[in-house]
Amino acid sequence: MNIQSVLKMHRQDKWGWFLIPNIIVFSVFFVNLIVSFFITTKEAYYTGGGLSYLIIYMLVIGIIVMAQTFSYAISMSVRRTDYFIGTALMGAMMSFSYAVLLFICSILENWTNNWGVKFHFFHFPYLNDGSLLEQFAIYFILLINLFFLGFMISSFTRRFGKKGMVIAMVVSLLIASVAALLVMYYGYWMDIIHWIISHTAVQLAYWLIIPTLLYVVFSYFFLRRATV
């Protein structure tokens, strides 16, 4: 069983990778679109957006994919490296595919004047202010970042077990709490807010490339010693 076989194994799960995320996104979209026809105010109608549903789903699929396929793949004599590469490629391809989907829907929404009812689901101010290439880059970076975050979490849990995961969560919360207290104590909140405001959406997205690469590296090393 090689990398191609791992990809084929993942593609057979059409519900997990293809159908469920599309059903969720477009069901919510059509329900909100219908609701928007009954809103009589002239103000724009905003919802959580298709991007938010897909990035959450990519996080979820990154977490559950290992629980669903890792033991089976190892039992079929697949090497851990091949499993990692095949799963990483699948996550990257799906992130790219859903980025294309969001990109097309965003363009359609803009061209149709927000579906004719000022309904914002795929196209938002600030997020879609850049060039078309920058908008696509935002979608792709956000999706692949969340996928590998989920995959790293799953790999860590497989390597260190539930006890290790609980300890990691407690340590992470403590670090986050201490960091928040220090920022509040030294009055850095406004500096942070000003720094965020001074950057475009795509510039902020580019910063996510670094943690994404770290997620990939950590996932690989956790997976190499993960138990079946």
Which DSSP string do the residues of 8-65 spell out, in sequence order? HHHHT-HIIIIIHHHHHHHHHHHHHHHHHTT--SSS-EE-S-HHHHHHHHHHHHHHHH
Residues 6+ apart with CB under 8 A from 105: 50, 121, 122
**Cα(192)–Cα(167) distance, rounded to whole angstroms?**
29
Angle (deg, nearest 10), helices 50-75 and 3-11: 130
**Cα(214)–Cα(151) distance, rounded to whole angstroms?**
12
C-beta separation of 156 from 223 below 8 A: no
* Nearest in space to 67 (alpha carbons), one of 134, 136, 162: 162
Angle (deg, nearest 10), helices 132-185 and 50-75: 90
Helix and strand tally (H, E) in the chain?
Answer: 9, 2
**Cα(225)–Cα(60) distance, rounded to whole angstroms?**
22
- DSSP label of 200: -
C-beta separation of 212 from 145 below 8 A: yes
Token digits of residue 123: 């196209």
Token digits of residue 130: 């850049």
The per-residue pLDDT string of the chain (228 residues; one tens digit each, 9 = 90 and over) reads: 689 999 999 999 999 999 999 999 999 999 988 988 887 667 788 887 778 999 999 999 999 999 899 989 998 889 999 999 999 999 999 999 999 999 999 999 999 988 888 888 999 988 898 899 999 999 999 999 999 999 999 999 999 988 998 999 999 999 999 998 988 888 888 888 888 888 999 999 999 999 999 999 999 999 988 877
**Cα(90)–Cα(66) distance, rounded to whole angstroms?**
12
pLDDT of residue 39: 78
Residue type, 134: E
